[in-house]
Amino acid sequence: MPSPFDERGISDLVGDAVNQFTKLIRNEMAIARAELSEKATEAAMGAGLILGGALLLIPAMVLLLIALAAWLTEVGLSAAVSNLIAGVIGLLISAVLAWIGKTKLSPEHLKPKHTIREVERDLAAVKERG
């Protein structure tokens, strides 16, 4: 007794393969859209955090740096040296914060890694069957 698979023609098999490949592409596109949306949200959040942090940090940093300069003057340094030290510390802190924000917005961080990995896996599977 022949199996039901024996009765299917090549056109049916090709049609099924095309349908499965189409479904696979649709699924991958949906995953890619979701991941890109997630990355865009992360980018917006990173930019918002940078802006919010900068706005809230400025007055606090000014007060802390003034207090540091005043303390350094009290312990015996000249006012100019005290202000210079406080300014350099403020500059280093702001550079670190900017670097962290820049890292969150880097193309490597925003790349849809999961989607790329899945598409590569799917292409390899199609090549094995083809």
pLDDT digits (tens, 9 = 90+) for 37-60: 888 888 899 889 888 888 887 898
Q: Under 8 Å CB-to-CB from 101, ≥6 apart: which residues?
A: 46, 47, 49, 50, 53
From residue 102, how far is each of 46, 50, 54, 105, 110 by CA, in Å?
8, 9, 13, 5, 11
Residue 72 in this model has a pLDDT that exceeds 70: yes
Compute the distance between CA of residue 25 and CA of residue 28 in angstroms, rounded to an integer. Answer: 5
Q: What are phi and psi of 73, to 5 degrees?
A: -65, -40
pLDDT digits (tens, 9 = 90+) for 109-118: 777 788 788 8
Compute the distance between CA of residue 36 and CA of residue 30 in angstroms, rounded to an integer. Answer: 10
> What mean pLDDT do residues 13-35 have?
84
Residue 4 in this model has a pLDDT that exceeds 60: no
> What mean pLDDT do residues 22-41 have?
86
Compute the distance between CA of residue 94 and CA of residue 55 in angstroms, rounded to an integer. Answer: 12
SS3 55: helix
